Amino acid sequence: MKNVKVEVSNRHIHLTEDVYKKLFAHPLTKRNDLSQIGEFASNETLTIKTPKESILNVRIVGPLRTYNQVELAKSDARKLGLNPPVRRSGNVSESESITLIGEIGSVTLENGCILAERHIHLNPALAKEWNVVDNQIVKVKIKGAKSCLLDAKIKVSENGTLAFHIDIDDANAALLNTGDEVEVLL
Ligand SMILES: [Zn+2]
């Protein structure tokens, strides 16, 4: 049995230092650490805006990165009138455009808005033990009143901490909460 803890991701934003500096006059500040080593939820939030609608208080996840990315759930995207592709984090080519509004300015990203694919973080040692490779699709079994099998991609990184990451829409559909355990079928 390969049990994995669920972590539900709400909508969030990754930014480059360059874009961050156009939105805030002070450095990014940490609110709390996340399970993946080095990653944190910041105190800073942005408004995200399209011609159709806005969503307030969307949190920035640090540290600052080499790309700009807004990760939404499908229900957020519908509200905003967007149709973002499902992508691995960091792959934002030909994704949706969105405007970010911060404390001191606004920036429109030509690309950057995605729906994150479901993924399981692990480190190379555990990947070897499980006999899985980066980007491999595995089945995740979810129990309960809305039991189902979901596909998830394996995401191997040096600092990977075992966790199943899904967005709020997927979590709600399967009645999952952060901290629940699911079983990976291999
Ligand atoms: Zn993740």
Residue 121 CA to ligand 1 center (angstroms) comes to: 6
Residue 75 CA to ligand 1 center (angstroms) comes to: 19
Last residue of a domain, one of 88, 116, 144: 116
CA distance 78 to 3: 33
- Determine, yes or no, domain membership for 64: yes
Averaged pLDDT, 74-100: 97
In this predicted structure, the answer to whether residue 108 has a pLDDT above a threshold of 90 is: yes
pLDDT the model gives residue 77: 98
What does DSSP assign to residue 174? T
Residue 36 CA to ligand 1 center (angstroms) comes to: 8
Last residue of a domain, one of 116, 149, 167: 116
pLDDT in tens, 133-163: 999 999 999 999 999 999 999 999 999 999 9
Which pairing describes strands 148-156 and 106-116: parallel, antiparallel, or unpaired? unpaired
Same-domain check for residues 127 and 95: no
Residue 153 CA to ligand 1 center (angstroms) comes to: 10
In this predicted structure, the answer to whether residue 1 has a pLDDT above a threshold of 90 is: no
Mean pLDDT (the chain, rounded): 97
Same-domain check for residues 33 and 14: yes
Residue position matching structure tokens 């596909």: 151
Residue 180 CA to ligand 1 center (angstroms) comes to: 16
- Determine, yes or no, domain membership for 47: yes
Tell me the CA distances in angstroms from 12 to 41, 81, 130, 158, one per residue in order: 9, 17, 30, 23
For residue 176, the enclosing domain spans: 119-185
- Determine, yes or no, domain membership for 2: no
Cα 132–134–139 angle (5° rounding)? Answer: 55
% of residues, the chain, pLDDT over 90: 99
Tell me the CA distances in angstroms from 88 to 30, 36, 106, 109, one per residue in order: 24, 16, 26, 18
- Determine, yes or no, domain membership for 166: yes
Same-domain check for residues 51 and 105: yes
The CATH number of residue 139's host domain is 2.40.40
In this predicted structure, the answer to whether residue 22 has a pLDDT above a threshold of 90 is: yes
Averaged pLDDT, 102-126: 97
Residue 37 CA to ligand 1 center (angstroms) comes to: 11
Same-domain check for residues 16 and 103: yes
- Determine, yes or no, domain membership for 5: no
Last residue of a domain, one of 85, 116, 147: 116
Residue 109 CA to ligand 1 center (angstroms) comes to: 22
CA proximity to 109, closest of 9, 18, 41, 42: 18
- How many domains does the chain fold into? 2
> Residue 128's CB: how many other CB atoms inside 10 A?
12
In this predicted structure, the answer to whether residue 176 has a pLDDT above a threshold of 90 is: yes
Averaged pLDDT, 53-77: 98
Same-domain check for residues 173 and 92: no
Residue 167 CA to ligand 1 center (angstroms) comes to: 10
